[in-house]
Chains A and B, each alone.
Chain A
Amino acid sequence: MKIAMRLAVALSAATFLTACSGGESSENDTTDDKAEAFDRDPYPSTYTPYPSGAVLLQNATVYDGVGNVFENYDVLLEGGNIAGLGEDLDAGDDVEVIDASGKFVTPGIIDNHSHLGVYPSPGVSAHQDGNEISGPVTAEVWAEHGVWPQDPGFTRALAGGVTSMQILPGSANLFGGRGVTLKNVLSRTVQGMKFPDAPYTLKMACGENPKRVYGYGGGRFPGGAPYSRMGNVAGYRNSWIEAKAYREKWDAWEADGGDMPTRNLELDTLSGVLDGDILVHMHCYRADEMAQVIDMSEEFGYEVTSFHHAVESYKIADLLAEKNICSSMWADWWGFKMEAYDGIRENIPLVHHAGACAIVHSDSDIGIQRLNQEAAKALADGRRAGIEISDADAWTWLSANPAKSLGIFDQTGSLEIGKDADVVLWNGDPFSSYSNAERVYIDGALMFDLEQPDFTPVTDFELGQPGEGDLK
């Protein structure tokens, strides 16, 4: 009975949303001729928000995610959106009122660097779906085709207040493939998790990994290109040259007609970058390499949205600010390889202080569970070094900036009226080690409740196993 009802609700919601997004995409069709040539969204999102009633979180300390903090504030979630924000909001009829005094309300955390699903738990050999290591250029692969939606890691991230995330291919390749942005709502299918209308992204990688995997790989010497950082850059440039030629072929076909060019999945992705439709997220540790990549992006006319890991961003924070490129960073990882040797604990605050876009990312199924603490460490380390950043500003590292880097800031990433109600109620200061996410709402629907075991999701994998349904 319950199943039937859930299906019915999901179906009606799906119809509603399809109607909405249908309108949008037909609008796109008229402005983008290429959309007619082939379907650019062949694996569309089927995510629909779960049913929710109106909820008033009352009397909380609220970080709105765009730099403001409000004491004794109320946040109203209604119709899946942020419907009200203010002091002493009226709770209408049928509004569930939650006393949040002494508690904190923030936008949901967005991790723009996760491998959940593609490197899931358990980390057995059959689950290594995050890197198409077969060649240095695999822009043709899409992370969503490797995501296992039963990864228990999604549930742990949810308990850590993560409401959306980008799943990226790994960093073995120069071009690793497309990333996918998900709502952290478990589904039977990946499509059921895909963030509606989020742009595609492209994972690229600098430095040690590509040259180690290909140059020194396969037990041969040398393994093949790239063998050096020189080879890395030549590899990217050759691909961009091909992508430009491919794009010109399509442009000519659109202008003049004739035989439709043969499609190439790899170059579809790269030309999507050149068109500005696909956002580049590039694994790059060293400052000098980031500067090279910036020149390369200007050589070929595309933009880097965010450098990832970026442990040396502090050395060129001025350049990153000038070029408007984000840095997705850890608070304190360092030393596990040479390009991570100069990691410092003040990287994030130094980048922020220079006026560049700072993002706290995880790249870890453990780290994703406490990104708020990672921000807290960086914030405190910055202050000790004399860099004054407010708690409220620091929250931009966790929600707004990652949302911008994924092209979803219009929908989520801050507590502003009309945005998706992706909201976390924390049982204490979220910058404390002792605080936990008490309630997590996604599009207004309660998806996690620390106090109610029924609101702790259990993946298929964990059913019938030791610890099923345990507090994790």
Chain B
Amino acid sequence: MIFKFAAIAAFTSLAVSSALAQNLAIQNATLFDGETVREDATLVIRDGTVVAWADADQLPSGLETIDAEGAWVTPGIFSAFSQVGIVEVGAEDSTNDTSAGQSAFGAALDLSDGFNPRATSIDITRIEGVTRMAVAPSLGASLFGGQGFIATTTGEPGSVIERRAFTFINLGEGGASVSGGSRPAAWATLRAAFGDARAFPTRYLAHSEGDALGRMDAEAFTRAARGDQLMLIAVSRESDIREVISLKKTMSNLQIVLVGAQEGWMAAEELAEANIPVIIDPYDNLPSSFAQLGATQQNAARLIEAGVTTAFAHLDSSSHQARLVLQSAGNAVGSGVDHTDALRAITSVPAEIFGIDGAGRLTAGGLGDLVIWDGDPLEVASAPVRIFIDGVEQSLESRQTKLRDRYLAVDESERPMAYKR
């Protein structure tokens, strides 16, 4: 007990600056803390941060207390791969900043320049329980999609918490088609790009062009190429995955994360050994292309079993339906993944992959991102009842809930529907 109160004092001094952060205690929770599940748990949040475990009868004073009455409480869900906030309407190019096929730049594209915290998809994603997200260029747009970022889903200005958090590279079939027409072309381009970035700026003293990258792209790729920044590589086929594993063997400092990895289970032991995490969609079970003939919903269970660090994402429509990662995780459970592992794969594991301290967990020092649910969070019928980000309670409204509320009862007897809100 003495330890706990000491911890509270320590974290109080490190308080985050948010003026609205509430000090609160949640009692009687079925608490998933990012690692394990505990019944009848109590959680204390102060100044936006989880301060310590505390017993129900020994709470610090001055807290708002919430009796969860046994409900599930989890860390805010961390979407490991999405385009939320960089596109409003997919098919309307003027609103879509997920890719830039006509741009002269690739690795230098900073996706956070396109982030709109007011995008309707942010509220819509948040009210399903997602509080933080990695935002990346769309799959398959170009070999170097650009620099992805990490944001919260508050929908407020300043919600990007890390710009240029990772470089996104599209290999395999997708990369082949955008880099000249073959896998060898994609790999030649990638190797040349490594050469350019690692030789930056020397190689560019006389010319602005490198072997593969212009000056700006080379500069942007430097951190990833030197192992100082995460490199997300979209890849599906076993042979392509093994090529990436070989790449990491020759450049062991690279921080590589695979996206997609539909045939990852076929190289699971080697991925674990090479310490390469994966971000997969547990739904993928169709030979949608020749690069994923071995796709199966068993991928998740087999990767986790082999010890591969595995996060889940909803890769099919990750701009508007990133929220469905919860359903993906539930389906993974239906295909043999342990329930707690599935929860980790959408909270603490992606937070760990992206190196966001305190995200995805509700242990002491964790960020005050949490969701109180009306049922098992991985059941499709469940939904959040309260959501906090950095200790600040979030609205459960979205443009969709407003449309719903308008049309719950159609009544045009007095005035048109447009007057109802």
Contacts and interface: CB of A to CB of B under 8 A. Distances in A.
Interface stretch (A91-99, A133-141, A183-191, A432-440): A432-440
B152 interface: no
Nearest to A435: B334
A431 B382 CA distance: 11
Interface string A430-460: 0111111000000000000000000000000
Contacts of A153: 286
Interface string A350-362: 1000000000000
Interface in B245-300: 263, 266, 283, 285-290, 293-298
B316 interface: yes
A16 interface: no
Contact of A122 (B285, B289, B324): B289
A208 B320 CA distance: 19
Contacts of A332: 321, 324
A385 B298 CA distance: 36
B404 A344 contact: yes
B316 A366 contact: yes
Given A121-B288, A122-B290, A433-B330, A315 B379 contact: no
B288 A318 contact: no
Contacts, number: 141
A226 interface: no
Nearest to B284: A366
B283 A472 contact: no
Most buried by A among B321, B374, B379: B379
B383 interface: yes
Which range holds the interface residue count of chain B? Answer: 35 or more
Q: Is the interface of B mostly helix, strand, loop or mixed?
A: loop
A286 interface: no
Most buried by B among A121, A153, A436: A121
Given A122-B288, A123-B288, A338-B91, A434 B334 contact: yes
Interface stretch (A75-83, A259-267, A370-378): A370-378
Contacts of B327: 373, 377, 433
Interface in B294-324: 294-298, 316-317, 319-321, 324
A282 to B, nearest CB: 20
A462 B293 contact: yes
A466 B334 contact: no
Nearest to A384: B383
Contacts of A244: none
Contact of A466 (B121, B293, B401, B403): B293
Given A350-B408, A466-B266, A471 B403 contact: no
A467 interface: yes
A373 B334 CA distance: 12
B38 to A, nearest CB: 21
A188 B84 CA distance: 43
B54 to A, nearest CB: 32
A343 interface: yes
Contact of A385 (B92, B320, B324, B408): B408
B238 interface: yes
A220 interface: no
Interface string A300-315: 0000000000000011
A380 interface: yes
Contacts of B90: 335-337
Contact of A343 (B324, B378, B380, B400): B400
Contacts of A333: 317, 320-321
B195 to A, nearest CB: 33
B296 A467 contact: yes
Contacts of B298: 470-472
Contact of B287 (A121, A338, A379, A432): A121
B206 interface: no
Interface in A29-76: none
Contacts of B381: 376-377, 379-380, 431-432
B287 A434 contact: no
Contacts of A433: 327, 330-331, 333-334, 378-380
A23 interface: no
Contact of A472 (B89, B285, B319): B285
12 contacts: A123-B289, A124-B289, A332-B324, A333-B317, A333-B321, A335-B121, A336-B90, A336-B320, A344-B400, A380-B380, A433-B327, A466-B293
| 7 closest cross-chain pairs (CB), A and B | A433-B330, A466-B294, A380-B381, A467-B294, A337-B91, A336-B90, A335-B320
